A and B are shown apart, each in its own frame.
Chain A
């Protein structure tokens, strides 16, 4: 069995043969011309990626709803959540910055998780097949703009800067973000675009 595949980076049409061509076989194939990843396939059902995507949702809610950091200065405690920090930016007249931070750290990650979990649920329970393409497109579009990994690093830098002027205590949300990043990374390693469509087309194994 063989199949045709095009490299998305250099547009070379190539024929996969042998083991890689089998639907459901695991492996990574690189483009024979430019070396970009051509195909990344995992075996397995939708269960694991679905479970991980679902686990991300409550973790994300904790990360958004609880304080990130609190600071003790002369007996007074100051704390902020991420939405609180965005509102503070807005109040300082920085509507554009507030919008950028809102989209990249709240809207895009939330939408990405919901569309991914939603479409995997539909796939897992073999329902709503006509809605899957649209949900996939939304997931892919929001996926590009979610920047929680950068935010995490930014929080650590901010902690480092603040530690110089006051006693800083990491809040529950910081731990939730750390957990969320691990869950999202795990989810990415169990599901590629290729797997997504293999599973949605009936999950042949």
Chain B
């Protein structure tokens, strides 16, 4: 195959040598023609994220205790509360970051995995753009975790109101981290690789 390997971290082009492990001559990052076991790793992270997606959405992420009574909030009910209190822009933002982005990410990564596995080269251009989009928006899902962190720290007014984190938030944070790891271990260059007959490096 190719004579050159590009460093994924600094972009340096290096002449390929026949040693088992090779480091970038400029920045020292280990060089691989393709990320090792890319599809297997991505699939493993993706399955773990999909499983945790269920408790992340069904379990409450926070518990509010006020003088009027106790209340458990899931991610979705948190969005509904924002809508009822009239904060449309905030509700839309949280809905997008916490509900749309994770589900679209799970779907997009599944499509990318299938495309790389079965070499749908005809759509490589569009899929490559999809991958860059997934990489870019994935981190924004941690939004709800930061909101929760601040609410928990501030709303500790003994008799009046307290907010406590609940298990759903842990599952949700794990979904976000796992999908970020899945996107990182996916190698977009696989989308462009010729069908296996050409000597694949899968």
In the bound assembly, the distance between CA atoms of A36 and B8 in angstroms comes to 14
Contact A157 B124 (CB under 8 A): no
Contact B189 A147 (CB under 8 A): no
Contact B149 A89 (CB under 8 A): yes
In the bound assembly, the distance between CA atoms of A13 and B6 in angstroms comes to 9
> Could you say which of B6, B150, B151, B173 contacts A8, with CB atoms under 8 Å apart?
B6
Q: Does B49 contact A (CB under 8 A)?
A: no
Q: Collect the chain B residues with CB atoms within 8 Å of residue A88's CB.
A: 149, 152-153, 156
Q: Collect the chain B residues with CB atoms within 8 Å of residue A85's CB.
A: 149-150, 152-154
Q: Which of B50-58, B103-111, B160-168 contacts A (4 or more CB under 8 A)?
A: B160-168
Q: Does A101 contact B (CB under 8 A)?
A: yes
In the bound assembly, the distance between CA atoms of A8 and B198 in angstroms comes to 20
| Nearest B residue to A85, CB-CB | B153
A97-B170, A155-B150 known; A8-B143 Cβ under 8 A: no
Q: Does B147 contact A (CB under 8 A)?
A: yes
- Distance (whole angstroms) from the CB of A42 to the closest CB of chain B: 15
A12-B192, A151-B146 known; A197-B12 Cβ under 8 A: yes
Q: Collect the chain A residues with CB atoms within 8 Å of residue B142's CB.
A: 100, 104, 147, 150, 154
| Nearest B residue to A160, CB-CB | B90
Q: Collect the chain B residues with CB atoms within 8 Å of residue A78's CB.
A: 154, 156-157
Contact A5 B165 (CB under 8 A): no
In the bound assembly, the distance between CA atoms of A140 and B145 in angstroms comes to 24
| Nearest A residue to B93, CB-CB | A157
Q: Does B48 contact A (CB under 8 A)?
A: no
Contact B28 A137 (CB under 8 A): yes
Q: Which of A60-85 contact B (CB under 8 A)?
A: 68-69, 71, 73-74, 76, 78-80, 84-85
Per-residue contact bits, chain B 72-93, to A (CB 8 Å; 1 contact, 0 not):
0000000000100101001001
Per-residue contact bits, chain A 165-205, to B (CB 8 Å; 1 contact, 0 not):
10000000000000000000000000001101100000000
- Distance (whole angstroms) from the CB of A65 to the closest CB of chain B: 15
- Please tell me the number of chain B residues within 8 Å of chain A, measured between CB atoms: 58
| Nearest B residue to A87, CB-CB | B153
Contact B191 A136 (CB under 8 A): no
- Please tell me the number of chain A residues within 8 Å of chain B, measured between CB atoms: 59
Contact B165 A150 (CB under 8 A): no
A78-B157, A147-B139 known; A10-B188 Cβ under 8 A: yes
In the bound assembly, the distance between CA atoms of A73 and B192 in angstroms comes to 59
Q: Collect the chain B residues with CB atoms within 8 Å of residue A158's CB.
A: 146-147, 150-151, 154
In the bound assembly, the distance between CA atoms of A92 and B6 in angstroms comes to 46
Q: Does B44 contact A (CB under 8 A)?
A: no
| Nearest B residue to A88, CB-CB | B153
Q: With A12-B192, A33-B192, A160-B82 given, can you name 20 additional A-B contacts, CB distance below 8 Å?
A: A9-B132, A36-B132, A69-B154, A71-B154, A78-B154, A78-B156, A89-B152, A96-B173, A96-B174, A100-B145, A133-B28, A137-B9, A137-B28, A150-B142, A154-B145, A157-B90, A157-B143, A158-B150, A158-B154, A162-B154
Across chains A and B, which 4 residue pairs bring their CB atoms closest together, nearest first?
A154-B146, A85-B153, A6-B6, A158-B150
B residues with a Cβ closer than 8 A to A are 2, 4, 6, 8-13, 26-29, 82, 85, 87, 90, 93-94, 97, 124-125, 128-129, 131-132, 139-140, 142-157, 160-161, 164-165, 169-170, 173-174, 177, 184, 188-189, 191-192
Instruction: Supply 30 A–B pairs (Cβ within 8 Å), ascending by A.
Output: A11-B2, A12-B192, A13-B13, A36-B132, A73-B160, A78-B154, A78-B156, A79-B154, A85-B150, A85-B152, A88-B156, A92-B152, A96-B170, A97-B145, A97-B149, A100-B173, A100-B177, A105-B146, A140-B9, A147-B142, A150-B139, A154-B145, A154-B146, A158-B150, A160-B90, A161-B147, A161-B151, A165-B161, A193-B11, A194-B11
